[in-house]
Amino acid sequence: MRVLVTGGTGFVGTSVIHALRAQQTEVRVLARSRERAARAAAWGAEVVTGDVTDPAGLVAAADGCTHVVHLVAIIKGRPEDFERVMVDGTRNVAAAAEHAGAGRLVLMSALGTSEATRDTVPYYRAKWEMEQIARGAALEHVILRPSFVFARSGGALPTFVRQVRLSPVVTVLGPGSQRSQPIWLDDLAASVAASLVDPGAANRTLELGGPDVVTWNELYRAIARTLGKRRRLVHVPFALARAAARATQALPGAPLTVDQVTMLAGPDNVVSNDDAQSVFGLPLVPLAEQLRRAV
């Protein structure tokens, strides 16, 4: 098995490549520069330079690969950026996988993606369209929809930990009652690796979450307990958060966009079934252990 991984230099992709190489799987990483993929190369992955927006380059990158893992996504940008990178990029990846005769395409989507949410923000629209492309491809597909992904470094959890560690008053967007089901990064990577070969995953959309469901209020309090801190939560109404994001989102390093506030104000980010656990049967890191590792 030789696996082409797009988005392999990112937060999730690095862990996925590590998991695959730990199993001695042959990995080819598509990267915009070899410098960005230095860690993957050190683990024994083959690096090819290219971009998902280049159809011809993708065909060359996929040549000889039996499986494809597509992880590329953006979280900020204009609607046309989401269309170019995520939608057109996925169309190019699927075409390259078909041309190579690959047996399976694994697509990283996101929990919260649905026909009901696709018109709320460009991110969900792009993810929904990416899923439709995967389903329509002439090869097996697996669509993975993870909840929030936590890790020691990278992602959102270190930011939450810094908030609680450094400030006696922690701001929470909205009432703090929305629920999520954080999954540990290594568990997500293991699920991606399993989805490449598990026959029970073929042509399925699988929701991924950790073993614990938590509200934002409960999450911040759990972080405070893990740090041994006493913290007061102050809630910022979503309307005020949107107004602040609208005023600052164009600035470099802006913490949130209006679209991200809209997503946080949306439905609970929890899995609706246990299909993924039934298919993969992988052990999952409990939230308390996730926090202990992070702090």
pTM for the full predicted model: 0.96
- Sorted by where each begins, the domain ranges of the chain are 2-149+183-209+270-284
Instruction: Give CA–CA dist 117/124, Å, rounded.
Output: 6
Give the model's pLDDT for residue 200. Answer: 97
> By 3-state DSSP, what share of the chain in percent is helix, strand and coil, each rounded to 5?
45, 20, 35
Tell me what pLDDT residue 256 has.
85
Cα–Cα nearest to 129, from 96, 82, 97 = 82
Could you read off the pLDDT of 43-92 as tens digits, one per residue? 999 999 999 999 999 999 999 999 999 999 999 899 999 999 999 999 99
Compute the distance between CA of residue 234 and CA of residue 94 in angstroms, rounded to an integer. Answer: 46
Neighbours of 272 (CB within 10 A): 11
* Residue 223 DSSP SS3: helix
Rounded to 10°, the helix 55-62/89-100 angle is 40
Which residues of the chain are under the pLDDT cut of 50?
none
pLDDT, residue 253, reads 75
CATH architecture for the domain at 2-149+183-209+270-284:
3-Layer(aba) Sandwich (3.40)
Question: For position 41, what pLDDT does the model report?
Answer: 95
